């Protein structure tokens, strides 16, 4: 087994934010391989997060993020189990980072389970029509479409999007790492993203249609 130096433990701590004993264990388990140790800790974080996922998280914060000179804004409710953790600097930073991610990546839903079924079916019809033009067998088309739907759903769901500050992780994995470090369940409850002028064109079109209808009736 490779000798685990203090400097290697320190480097792993700086990379992951994990505790010293967890870093030592990870390096021992991976024979001193730093990158494998990072993966080991990430998997441990996901495992720890899964164990805590059923615990009630009713405290937390409502935070905001404003970008582009006030042209895009996000309101986010991030929950923790206790008010003590909600006031923790690391939790507050996590909330700000997720709000910033929402601002940049514009997710429509929190998780894939929440994506509207009608939207999925509409996208599926489009993918199927395109896939059939290729002339491939139906069983192959089905696999292609399933893969495209999964990619689409993940792309519009907050938790499955690549985290903007570290695209090697999804937002869900980033939260899981924080759960392992902080020791409490953390969950995104809701968010709202505003973009200046968004929807105005549609409203103007609807207004014009209403005017035309009124003219026809008169």
DSSP codes joined into one string, 63-92:
EEEEETTTTEEEEEEEEES-HHHHTSHHHH
What is the tens place of the pLDDT at every residue in 22-80?
A: 788 888 888 888 888 888 877 766 545 555 556 666 689 999 999 878 899 999 999 99
Q: What is the pTM of this model?
A: 0.68
Residue 104 and residue 177 share a domain: yes
pLDDT attached to residue 50? 55
Q: Are strands 187-195 and 166-170 parallel, antiparallel or unpaired?
A: unpaired
Q: Which of residues 52, 68, 83 is at a domain's end?
A: 52
Q: Please answer whether residues 192 and 74 qualify as being in contact, where contact means their C-beta atoms are separated by less than 8 angstroms.
A: yes
Q: In terms of domains, do 131 and 24 share one? A: no
Q: Last residue of some domain: 52, 69, 88?
A: 52
Residues of the domain holding 165:
55-113+161-218
Average pLDDT over residues 159-163: 95
What are the φ/ψ torsions at residue 180 (nearest 5 degrees)?
-65, -40
Read off the pLDDT band of 167 (50, 70, 90): very high
- Same domain, residue pair 72 and 175: yes
Both 103 and 174 in one domain: the answer is yes
Tell me the CATH number at 46: 1.10.8.10
Looking at the fold, whether 84 and 165 belong to one and the same domain comes out as yes
Average pLDDT for 180-194: 90
* Domain tally, the chain: 3
Q: Examine the domain organization and report whether 121 and 25 are in the same domain.
A: no
175 and 100 inside one domain? yes
């Amino acid at each position: 087994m490779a000798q685990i130096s203090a400097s290697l433990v320190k480097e792993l701590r700086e990379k992951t934010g994990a505790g010293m004993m967890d870093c030592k264990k990870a390096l021992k388990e991976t024979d001193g391989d730093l990158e494998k140790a990072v993966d080991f800790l990430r998997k441990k974080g996901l495992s720890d997060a899964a164990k805590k996922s059923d615990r009630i998280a009713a405290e937390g914060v409502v935070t905001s993020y404003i970008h582009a000179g006030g042209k895009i804004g996000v309101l986010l409710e991030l929950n923790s189990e206790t008010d003590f953790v909600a006031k923790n600097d690391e939790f507050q930073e996590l909330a700000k980072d997720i709000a910033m991610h929402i601002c940049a990546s514009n997710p429509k839903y929190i998780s894939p389970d929440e994506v509207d079924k009608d939207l999925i079916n509409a996208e599926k019809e489009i993918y199927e029509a395109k896939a059939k033009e290729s002339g491939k067998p139906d069983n192959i088309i089905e696999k292609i479409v399933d893969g495209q739907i999964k990619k689409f759903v993940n792309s519009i769901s907050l938790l499955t999007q690549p985290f903007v500050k570290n695209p090697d992780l999804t937002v869900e994995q980033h939260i899981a790492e924080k759960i392992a470090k902080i020791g409490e369940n953390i969950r995104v409850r809701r968010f709202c993203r505003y973009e200046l002028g968004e929807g105005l064109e549609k409203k103007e079109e609807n207004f014009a249609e209403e005017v035309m209808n009124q003219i026809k009736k008169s």
